[in-house]
Every structure is written in structure tokens, then in C-alpha cells.
Structure 1
Amino acid sequence: MRIEKTHDSVLADFASGFSGFPESVLHEGRRSLVNIFATAFTGCREEPTKAMLAAALPFSSGSHCTLIGRPDRVDLPLAASINTAGANIFDFDDTHEATIIHPAAAVFSALFAHAEIHGTCGRDVLEAFIIGCEVECRIGNAVSPYHYAHGWHITSTCGIFGAAAASGRLLGLTSEQMIDAFSCAASQSAGMAEMLGTGAKSVSMGNAARNGYMSAILAAHGCGGTDAPLTARLGYLNVYSDTPAPEALTDDLGQIWEFATNTYKPYPVGIVLNPVIQGILDLREHHGLSLDQITGIELFGHPLLQERTDRPRAATGRTTQVSAQHAIAIALLTGTATLDEFSDEAAQRTLNIGRPEVSFIDEPDRDITSVRIVVHLKNGQSMTQDITDAAGSRKNPMSDAQLEAKLMAAASRAGSSCDNRALLDALWSIDTSANAGNIIRMTGA
């Protein structure tokens, strides 16, 4: 009698054994690696990463693995944790628009740390990276929209599965062992949206990377779980969502790639603020709009815009990255939106000068990459700006050259001595690398 495979087993088969990657997907993998190395430089010396390193370093059991942008060398689990925390700390990394997951951060770090120790070839690392990101996004689809809206930090909670799948792929787990890795990951999945803008968010991201890798290691050593950790009655989907969609795990798996819809940010803010910043910068450049002209602003946007960014009194650099009021004010004052515009100093500047009154009008059918901005002026007139597909969105993506510039700017800002051109060339040609560990070694201070 033929036994029907579960969604769990089909996903595990895919993670452990898929081959035949389309070139377009492989290239998206390279693009994603360029972007995640860029954002790893941006956060490598921030206070939360320094605190995480200081707390854990006395317990590190080795010095085999590189920390991006830092001189320290640590054991593999700690390298995975710190490099992931640094890469995601500013939420300047990639975004899967359907779920608001930042797929690469939890996945990449353990793979390169593993390669440093084991000399893993670049093609295997690239394929494992893509597999991990795909698994992560599909699990995100299966628990959305309830999961994130209910307060789970979806990049952490689903990121652990991506890290487990990618690491398990490199370790050569069988399909059955991959299900065990999913079980171990499900038991450790955690992270709360309440912690966005704080160091605690980076802790959950570091845990996703480290514990995802350890989930694969545990499975390789025989630590088992249930047959359906994702889809059982009390499995992950049903516990973490009130509208689970198990079919999202496997529909057209290997044919339609969620990872291929990945996007990359031109501004270091929550993705829902990208169209707002672009629209405000356009009004400033083309119509001379200045902060002192404004009596109020209306934002017609996706409900997540208000839910995540209505923070008129955000007082730190981290929280201003999810503050529409600050983002509008600082963009008008400076005419740009780099990491410097979302610092503690910039936060105090806009608080002292005064931020505009912002009204949010929720439009549930609106795409998160679009917004209508209506600016009310002191002279009684108004200005309107519509952004349909913000820069960096799926329909208006960053180019390869823009991603390269992002990495170079980030490495320079971090004071890195890395040969950026050599690093970029190595990432673009990772398929041909005999040892991907050599790539991350280039990034240490």
C-alpha cells in the first residue's frame, strides 16, 4: 500500500536532496550573499553585538571562526550567533515581502563558519544557503499573516528552521534526520516583535542561527523528534498560527522559488518605510519641501505601516528605524537616509527641532511597497506624492552594482581593512571556490 508523504517529509526531502538549481536562483543567492555581508559590516561593532560577544566569549571553546569586521576569533556556534546579530541588527538586510522575513541573516553565518573548519566548497555553501532561505520563507508563508501580526518576530522564529535546513544540508543529513532537525528547531523557535529596536531582538536572531546549526548537529547525533513537527495537531504551524497553511510548505516546491522574490533595502529602515522615505525625498528634491512648511502629513498605506512605525517619540537610533515621524523629519532636514540619519544623535536632532504630525490611513489592500503621501502646508495648500513600487522592492529591485556599492559603503563605515573588491569578486564567483571558508576569512579586522 502506498503511503502518502506528509508536507514535513516532502520539505525534508527537498532540503536534504534537491538538485538542479536554476541559474536565476543561483544568481539570486549570490546577490543575497553580497547584501548580507554588507549588512554584517554595518552591525559588527554595535553595542548589542559587543554585549553579546562580551557575555559569551568567556565560554567560547575555540578560535577557529571569523567575526566579520572584528579581530576576534571564536568557536562556531558563537560566530554564527554574532555574525547573524550584526547582519540583522539594523534590519538593513533582505526582505521576503510576503512575510516580512529577512531570510539570509540566520542562514548564512553558520555555513561560512562550518566552511572555515571543514574546508567546504563554495558551491555546496551556496546551495545550502538557498535551500535554507527557501525553507524559512515557506514556513513563514505557512504561518502568515497571523504569526507576525500576533507579535512573533518572524525572522527569528522561522529563521531557526532556515539555519537548521541549510546546516543539515552541509552535514549530509538524510530526509529522516532533517525532520529530526526540524523537531529540534521547533522546540527552540522564539522571538518577539516587541523587542524590535532593542538588543534583545538581536539575541533572538543570534539564537536562531546558533540553535539552528545545533539542531542539525543534534539530529546528526541521533536526537529525534516527531514525524510531523511542522504539521501535527500540536505541531509548529498549529501552535504558532491560527490560520495555518501546510500546503504552503510544498506547493510547487523546487519549481516556484519564494527565495527568488527576495528584495534588498536601499534604506536602513523597516520595509514599510521605504516608500515613505522615497516619496519624501522626491518632494524635497523636486518641489523644495522643507520641514518648517508642514502642518501635518497623511500616510495612506498598508496597515503594517501604522502598526510598526507610529512612534512619534522614538528616542534612539534603533527605534527611529521604525519611526515614520523621525524618518520624514530627518529626510527633509538632510536630503538623504543612510545609517547616520538613524543614529542616537539624529534622533535627538529631530526631537529637538520637532517632528511633523502624522496621520495613518490604513488600506488593507495596498502593497507594503507603496504609499500615498499627502502633505498639508502652513499656507493652506497641500502636496501629494504616490509611490507605487518603492526602490528595493520586488518590482523595482536594487541592481548588482547598487549591492556592491552598499557593501563598500558598509565596510568603509565599519573601518574594515578588507579588500572589498576581492571580497565582492569572491562572492560573485563562490560557485568556483574550493573552500568558502577563505571568503569569510577576508572580512576579519
Structure 2
Amino acid sequence: MATQQLATWAVGLQYTDFSPPVIDAAVKSIYNWAGCAIGGYQQTAPGTALNVTGPHFGGPPTSSILALANGSTQTDAQIAAFVNGIAGHVDDYDDTHLQTIIHPSGHVASALLAVSEWKGGINGSEFITAFVAGVEAELKLGLSVWPQHYDIGWHDTSTTGSVGTAVAVSKLLGLDVPTMQQAIGIAATQVIGMQVFFGSDTKSFHVGRASASGMLAALLAQQGFTSSLVGLEGEFGWVHVVSTRENVTAEFDTLGKTYEILSNTFKPYPCGIVMHPSIEGAINVQAAALAQNLSISDITSVSATVNPETLVLTGQIDPTTGLEGKFSVYHGIAVGLLYGTVTPQQFTDAVVTNSTVVALRKLVNVTTDPNVSEVSATVTAIFKNGQNVTQNIANVIGSLANPLTVDQLKTKFLGQASLVLGNDIAEKAYEAFSNIGNMTDVSTLTQMFSGQNGTASTSASTSSSPRMRVPNTAVFTVIMAILLGTVALVG
């Protein structure tokens, strides 16, 4: 039985089971997420989510919003998981498991950090063990229904994410096998996320909701809330409802033998990963053109040859917002040519609607070729004098064959975090998260770089104070009673 199989594996998992590469991959995944969650708070979606949920649903402040990590910006664990989950995904800068296109870290890490801060006493090895358990659970689940599940329109990052988060939080709470099975079932029934919402705030909502839903599932199960012990594989369970194909038992047979986290990759560009080869090609074309004293303003046409999946996922020809631009290979090529770099600043509303960007975007023609791999592309620009500049990308940076280095990952983290925290505190945040495995109490992590540790915060972000939030609905009163009862049991 697949649900029991997953729970049994996760309950028995130990930190000593991990090879050094698995631990290294987990730590990189965690701090890459943290940088994205801090920098992503500059988008409107995370702040809106915090300001809407806080006054109406917030309970006792126990957990940090990473971008606002100081003594006055904590909220309850569920909202913290929700908001940090949104912030970590909203820039589309987070990690990617290339075989399933699942972004595995955001919902799991957001929930684990929130629970660790609320609960206290969780050390780094316990955190990493729970994190790997959750990531492996969602990726194996995703593989078991790939590609049919994705092809019919589900956003598999979030549809699998609530289950992975439930496994991770259950592991952190020390739940036994039958109780974790119940948690998996409660998470599975909260399936969320469809691709029609790509290019909008709701795409990142999927990740935030999966994080909060998975956490709630584990907490409810801990208190005896029932679901189904075969929530995944039952006749009308998750794998049969969301896909025409399932191979869940075979995938779960590889748990602990093949670690999917070793195939996790990190994005160099904050947008749909399938357009990364075209962006790198455009950046290289710009460099080669300038080296030949050619002017980008003299381009008369641009062509790109890409894998067919590129246009399926990022084929928006005329985006009008920054979020839509993240799913437009045409925009990615245009800004790569114009700026020679592609960061979150190239995916603002202002840049997407800039007349120079729009004019160049209209010169871009994209054709597909099934013989071109998903990590490859060819980009050509033709200039007024008839000269053309072509660049071929065989293995785009950030792919498994050409991964970001530790230095590049640090630069990416600091580039995101410093925009919100300032350079000095961003450095402290990097040191804290990159050394999470050595921590004796993860609940103190944000104190290592926030005002709680005597360091003045330089954050320019603003938000209403979440410490003043009081629940005002009957539904949330019930939920908070469950949470408070859990505190009494596990605190």
C-alpha cells in the first residue's frame, strides 16, 4: 500500500542515512529558497497575503516572515508558512527538479521553519532530515504520475507539495506510521493548483497554500483527525483522480535508494526554466555583437530554435505585466539582448511595457525542434548591415550538466537578500542559512541576522504589525484550539 509505504519510509528515515552529497544538496536547496523568499517579498503578492490574512486569521505570533525577520514581524506558524511560501516562489527564481518541473523546496522549507520557530528545540540535522523526507515524497509522487498529470493542466509543484509538506512536518513532529498516513490523506485531499494561473499572483499562492495545507494536515492528524489510510492509491485516491497514469508503488520502491534531491537544480534567471537556454543565448549574442562593435539598436530580426516545451509553457507573445513576462520566451530573449543580464528587475511591469523592449520583442521569431533538448537553444540576431551573430547553447547554466557553483549560489542569495535586508544583514542571513545543519536550535536562525539579536534592521519593506492580530472567525477559533492543544502536547 503506497501511502503506508511512504509513511513507513519517512518515519524510519535518519540523518545518518544521508550521503554527504544529499546533505549538501539539501542545504543548498534550503538557502536558495531563503534568498528567494527574502527577495521575493518585494513583489506585491506576499505583502498582500500577509496584510489580508493577519488581521482576520492570525493567532499568537510565533514564526517569522523572512523578509521582515525582526521582533515586530512575527505571525502565527500557518500564516508564516503561507506568506514565505508565496514569497519564495513569486519571482520564479526557486529550485527545479528538471524531470518533473516541480519546485520542491519552497512549501516544505516554509512550513518546517515556521514549525521549528513555534515549537523550538529542533536542531539542524532534524530539520534537514524532515526536509529531505518531504522533498523526496513529493518528487517521487510527481514522478509516479508524470507527464500525464502535468499535461492535463495541473501545477504539480503544489499538487504534490501539500503531501510533501505533510510528510516533512509529520517527521518533525515525530508522528508514527498510521498517524502520518492520516496526515498524507488530509494533505492529498487539499490538492491545489492549475496552470491557467501561470503569470499571475495565484501561481505563487499555490505554493503558499500547499505549505500551509501540509502543515495543517500534520497537525490535524496529530490530534486524531481522520482521513484515509490509502489516500494516495485508493480507487478514488489522489493518483487515480489527478492522472490517467500512476506508478506510485514502483516510485516509492526507490525511496532511500535514489535521492531525487540530487537532481534538483537552481535557476540563474527568475522565470520559466524552459526559456533559460534562449535567455543565455541572447545574453551571449549581445556580448558577441558588442565585441564586434555592433549596436543592439541595429537589430532587424531575431530567431531562436528551441525545444517544443518552451512555447507550451512560455509562449506568451505580448505580455503586459512582469509576472506574464516570466512566461514569455520572447520577452526573455529581448531583455537578454538589451540588458546583457536577466534578474528580477527585468521582469517588472515597467520593463515589460517599455517601448524599446516591446519593439525588440516584436522582432523575435521562435521555432521549435523536437531534436533540441530542454537545456539547449540557438539564438541568432541579424543587423542592418546584413551581419548575423549566432550563439548555440548546449547545456544552459543551471542545468545538471552545468550547475551553479557555490559562489554563484551565494551571489544569487546576496543579490536577492540585500535588496530587502541591506548588504551587511544579507551576509549574516547567508551565513545562518548555509550553516543550518550545524544549528542546535533552528528556532534561533532568524535571530542570527535580525533585530532580535541586537542588529538594526535595514529592511525597507512595510507591513501592518502581525503581533496585534487576533482571530475573529469561528472557523479559525477551532483551528487555533487544535494548534494550542498541539503546543501543549509537543512543546
User: If the TM-score is normalised by the length of the shorter chain, which range does it land in?
Assistant: over 0.9
Aligned to 2:89: 88
Displacement of 1:351 in angstroms is 5.1
Displacement of 1:378 in angstroms is 4.8
Aligned to 2:312: 307
Q: What's the % identity of the aligned pairs? A: 32
Aligned to 2:7: 12
Other structure's SS at 1:414 match: helix
Contact residue 185 and residue 227 of structure 2 kept, 8 A: yes
Q: Superposition pairs for residues 247-326 of structure 1, below 5 Å?
A: 247-288=249-290, 290-326=295-331
TM-score by length of structure 1 reads 0.94
Other structure's SS at 2:445 match: helix
Contact residue 411 and residue 418 of structure 1 kept, 8 A: no
Contact residue 290 and residue 332 of structure 1 kept, 8 A: no
| In structure 1, C-alpha distance between the alignment counterparts of 2:369 and 2:9, rounded to whole Å | 37
Aligned to 2:460: none
Q: For residues 443 and 418 of structure 1, do their structure 2 counterparts lie closer, same or farther at Cα, with a shift above 3 Å needed?
A: farther
Is residue 419 from structure 1 mapped to residue 425 from structure 2 by the alignment? yes
Q: Which whole-Å deviations, capped at 9, do the CAs of 1:27-81 have from their partners, x for residues lacking one? A: 1111111101110111113211111111101120111111111252100000000
Q: For residues 27 and 325 of structure 1, do their structure 2 counterparts lie closer, same or farther at Cα, with a shift above 3 Å needed?
A: same
Q: Superposition pairs for residues 32-431 of structure 1, below 5 Å?
A: 32-58=29-55, 59-70=57-68, 72-119=73-120, 120-288=122-290, 290-349=295-354, 350=356, 352-364=358-370, 366-379=372-385, 382-416=388-422, 419-431=425-437
Between 1:248-257 and 1:401-410, the stretch displaced more is 248-257
Q: Which amino acid is 2:119 matched to?
A: H
Displacement of 1:298 in angstroms is 3.5
Q: For residues 230 and 242 of structure 1, do their structure 2 counterparts lie closer, same or farther at Cα, with a shift above 3 Å needed?
A: same
Other structure's SS at 1:183 match: helix
Displacement of 1:363 in angstroms is 3.3
Q: Which whole-Å deviations, capped at 9, do the CAs of 1:115-154 have from their partners, x for residues lacking one? A: 1122211110111111111111111111211222221111
Other structure's SS at 1:69 match: helix
**Unaligned regions of 5+ residues in structure 2, if any?**
451-456, 458-491
Contact residue 263 and residue 397 of structure 1 kept, 8 A: yes
Q: Which amino acid is 1:335 matched to?
A: G
Contact residue 124 and residue 437 of structure 2 kept, 8 A: yes
Q: Which amino acid is 2:260 matched to?
A: E
Aligned to 1:3: none
Contact residue 306 and residue 374 of structure 2 kept, 8 A: yes
| In structure 1, C-alpha distance between the alignment counterparts of 2:448 and 2:352, rounded to whole Å | 34
Q: Which amino acid is 1:240 matched to?
A: V
Other structure's SS at 2:305 match: strand
Aligned length: 440
| In structure 1, C-alpha distance between the alignment counterparts of 2:258 and 2:358, rounded to whole Å | 49
| In structure 2, C-alpha distance between the alignment counterparts of 1:27 and 1:315, rounded to whole Å | 39
Aligned to 2:470: none
Other structure's SS at 2:441 match: coil
Contact residue 294 and residue 356 of structure 1 kept, 8 A: no
Q: Which amino acid is 1:146 matched to?
A: Q
Displacement of 1:373 in angstroms is 2.6
Displacement of 1:290 in angstroms is 5.0
| In structure 2, C-alpha distance between the alignment counterparts of 1:408 and 1:300, rounded to whole Å | 33
- Runs of 4+ more than 6 Å apart: none
Contact residue 291 and residue 329 of structure 1 kept, 8 A: no
Q: Which whole-Å deviations, capped at 9, do the CAs of 1:362-418 have from their partners, x for residues lacking one? A: 334543211223445555554432211110111111111111111111111124476
Q: Which whole-Å deviations, capped at 9, do the CAs of 1:170-220 have from their partners, x for residues lacking one? A: 011112212111110111011111111211222222110001001111111
Other structure's SS at 2:67 match: coil
| In structure 2, C-alpha distance between the alignment counterparts of 1:377 and 1:7, rounded to whole Å | 58
Contact residue 315 and residue 351 of structure 1 kept, 8 A: no
TM-score by length of structure 2 reads 0.85
